[in-house]
Amino acid sequence: MAKVSKSGANHLEDGDLLFGRRSLVESGAGKCSLVVSPSEPTVFESSLIRVRVDRNKVNPRILFYYFLSYLGRGRVRSIVSGVNVKGIRGSDLKNLLVARPPIPIQNRIVDILSAYDDLIENNRRRIELLEQSARMLYKEWFISLRFPGHQHAPFIDGVPEGWEKKRLADVATLIMGQSPASKYYNTDGDGLPFHQGVTNFGNRFVSHKTYCKLEARIAEAGDILCSVRAPVGRLNITLDRIVIGRGLSAIRSNNGFQSFLYYQLKNHFFKEDMIGGGAIFAAVTKKDMENQLLLCPPDPLIRDFEQNSTPIDEQLKYLHLQNQKLQQARDLLLPRLMNGEIPV
């Protein structure tokens, strides 16, 4: 049904499936991607396994959907081996058994599932535009200093009167992560979600793969998560109460200005591993984080900003959760379509 290759010299074609051969975390080994209409000749490196199917027998997209689903991911996890570095072998991947309905049925299933993907992609584009609009508003007001009333505001040394530099510790509460022993970790949903670093960071919100039965350092729902080990300064937001490991800190505004603080920190950590306007760090301590200097406008102006940014944040959260539900519905639907439980 498929040819499996791990040669770095081989080229890629539309419809090829790529699997990660190895990862420091179990969820990364065997992660599947689909090659879609490469615009120029492309090869793949030896850390990947390429699967190219016989299109007379298999629609490659149905295999891609399968390996995205909980069922397919579970099959791949069954062939993951290794202690410190998790990995899969091409020979084991090649021998996995996958249900194969007739091609016309496969094509109809792909059409059904593609409709979910279209909705997810539309939401993703809306998320991108909304995020961009909020960040542009922040830059307009607080970087370009074209905030409401700026025409009449007195400036001192290039800074509006009443604005002042404050330490991060003066405007927010910081919680540095601490990693419990690995015996408390699981992937069965037992305990609270656990995040050690940026592995499961998304564009804005974290997704949960690992859980922890020991509640050590806790980030509350809505907290900003900041990586304190390379890449230092990468930010995400948690929508749930979680346990954080030593690679993260949780940041919470003391005055409830969480939206403003998020965009302020996004601007402050404008480049990962670079603090503010200068030094590059492989890791930072709690003291390093607390001493980050931020230019802070008066509270009334921050409240005005939040009146504009918070509705955007809520829409971003709604679209993110909607995409999660669409992905879950798509993944749950696939096995029922493939085994004929739902006619197509």
Residues 283 and 212 in one domain: yes
Give strand pairing partners of 155: 160
The sheet carrying 17-20 orders its strands as: 2-5, 48-53, 17-20, 32-34
Residues 193 and 228 in one domain: yes
Give strand pairing partners of 44: none
Whether residue 243 is contained in a domain is answered as yes
Domain CATH code at residue 87 = 3.90.220.20
Residue after which a domain boundary falls, among 82, 100, 118: 100
Summarize pLDDT for 126-171 with one digit per residue, the tens. Answer: 999 999 999 999 999 999 999 999 999 999 999 999 999 999 999 9
Residues 184 and 272 in one domain: yes
Residues 106 and 182 in one domain: no
Q: Give the whole-angstrom CA distance, residue 305 versus residue 247.
A: 31
How many residues are given for the chain? 344
Whether residue 151 is contained in a domain is answered as no
Parent domain of 243 = 164-296
Residues 332 and 266 in one domain: no
Whether residue 114 is contained in a domain is answered as yes
Whether residue 123 is contained in a domain is answered as yes
Whether residue 158 is contained in a domain is answered as no
Summarize pLDDT for 240-281 with one digit per residue, the tens. Answer: 999 999 999 999 999 999 999 999 999 999 777 667 655 666
- pLDDT at 65 > cutoff 80: yes
Residues 76 and 200 in one domain: no
H-assigned helices in the chain:
60-68, 70-77, 90-94, 103-142, 168-171, 258-268, 286-290, 299-338
Residues 198 and 283 in one domain: yes
Whether residue 146 is contained in a domain is answered as no
Residues 59 and 22 in one domain: yes
Residues 39 and 12 in one domain: yes
Residues 343 and 247 in one domain: no
Positive or negative torsion for Cα 76, 83, 176, 191? positive
Longest Cα separation, the chain: 74
- Total number of domains in the chain: 3
Whether residue 33 is contained in a domain is answered as yes
Phi and psi torsions of 219, nearest 5°: -105, 135
Domain CATH code at residue 306 = 1.10.287
Summarize pLDDT for 212-244 with one digit per residue, the tens. Answer: 999 999 999 999 999 999 899 999 999 999 999
pLDDT score of 1: 43
Residue after which a domain boundary falls, among 257, 276, 296: 296
Residues 255 and 179 in one domain: yes
- pLDDT at 30 > cutoff 90: no
Residues 57 and 120 in one domain: no
Whether residue 85 is contained in a domain is answered as yes
